[in-house]
Amino acid sequence: MSEGIDVGSPDEIEAGTARVVEPEDSGFVDPIAVFHTESGCFFALNDTCTHEEASLAEGWIEGDTVECPLHSSSFNLRTGKVLCLPATEDARTHKVAVEDGRVVLYPGVAADPARAAD
Ligand code: FES
């Protein structure tokens, strides 16, 4: 079980944006994007698109989805499920929670799709 990484206070990640946690900070092999949706929920996915080299944190967050900035595949933020081509592979999810007023990321721990940190 991975230990939680403090990603900051909820206010520090503006709603509608994402923050990237680099491998040197998370201990996980890939960069992880922590998304803050307009509805105030937090989700985390591997930052690199499953299609090519693009940062999902630089994409567009709409509801519970993010659209890749390079070729516009979108992914469900809760489940990592790819929703449209050209990507065909789902994105890996990571558990994120708000604990004691901090956003805490659990690198490598799959998110429970039924729950959102808010
Ligand atoms: S790199 Fe994301 S859809 Fe192509």
Q: How does pLDDT run along the chain (118 residues), one tens digit per residue? A: 568 999 999 999 999 999 999 999 999 999 999 999 999 999 999 999 999 999 999 999 999 999 999 999 999 999 999 999 999 999 999 999 999 999 999 999 999 877 656 6
Residue extents of the structural domains in the chain: 5-106
Quick one: pLDDT at residue 107? 97
Predicted TM-score (pTM) of this structure: 0.94
Quick one: pLDDT at residue 118? 60
Closest residue CA from atom 4 of ligand 1: 71
Q: Using CA atoms, how far apart are residues 34 and 45, in angstroms rounded to an integer?
A: 7
Quick one: pLDDT at residue 11? 95
Residue type, 76: N
Closest residue CA from atom 1 of ligand 1: 52
List residues bridging with 43 in a β-sheet.
35
Query: Which CATH code for domain 5-106?
Result: 2.102.10.10
Give the Å distance between the CA of 68 and the centre of ligand 1. 6
User: Which residue matches tokens 């901090």?
Assistant: 102
**Ligand 1 atom nearest to CA at 52:** 1
Residue type, 66: V
26 to each of 5, 8, 14, 38, 69, how far by Cα in Å? 7, 13, 21, 25, 24
Q: Tell me the HSE value of 40 on the side-chain side, using a 13 A CA sphere.
A: 2
